[in-house]
Amino acid sequence: MPAGDAPPGAVPADQEKLVHINTYGNLPNFYVDYPFMCVDCGIAQVWTGEQQKWYYEEAKGHIWAVATRCRPCRKKLKSGGDHRPLD
C-alpha cells in the first residue's frame, strides 16, 4: 500500500532506516497500532506505531518481530524475576 494510502493515525516509516532488514518481502510504508494480549499476565496491550517505528528503525529489530509481552512483564523477564515459563 503506498504511503499516501495510510490509515488515519498511521506513523510513516523511514525506508532509509530499514536498510538493515534483509527480506524478500516488502518493507512497511507506515506503522499502525497493534493490539495484543501479554503472554505472561494476559492483560490487553497496544504496541503503538511510534513504538514500532523506534524498534524497527532505531533499535534495528527484525521486521517480522511483534510485541508479545507488556513492559512490566518484559522488565520482570529481563531481571530474572518470576514469570511464565516459555512453552
- Residues 59-84 pLDDT 10s: 999 888 999 999 999 999 989 866 55
pLDDT confidence of residue 13: 96
Q: Examine residue 13 and state whether it is found in any structural domain, yes or no.
A: no
pLDDT in tens, 18-58: 988 877 778 899 999 999 999 999 999 999 999 999 999 99
Is residue 12 one of the residues assigned to a domain? no
How would residue 85 be classed by pLDDT, with cut points 50, 70 and 90?
A: low
Measuring CA to CA, how many Å separate 9 from each of 2, 32, 48, 62?
Answer: 15, 7, 10, 23
Closest CA relative to residue 72, chosen from 38, 31, 49, 47: 38
Looking at this protein, which amino acid is placed at residue 48?
A: T
Number of domains in the chain: 1
Q: Specify if 14 maps to a domain.
A: no
* 72 domain residue, yes or no: yes
Range of the domain at 55: 29-82
Any domain includes 58 = yes
Q: What pLDDT does residue 1 have?
A: 46
Report if residue 60 sits inside a domain: yes
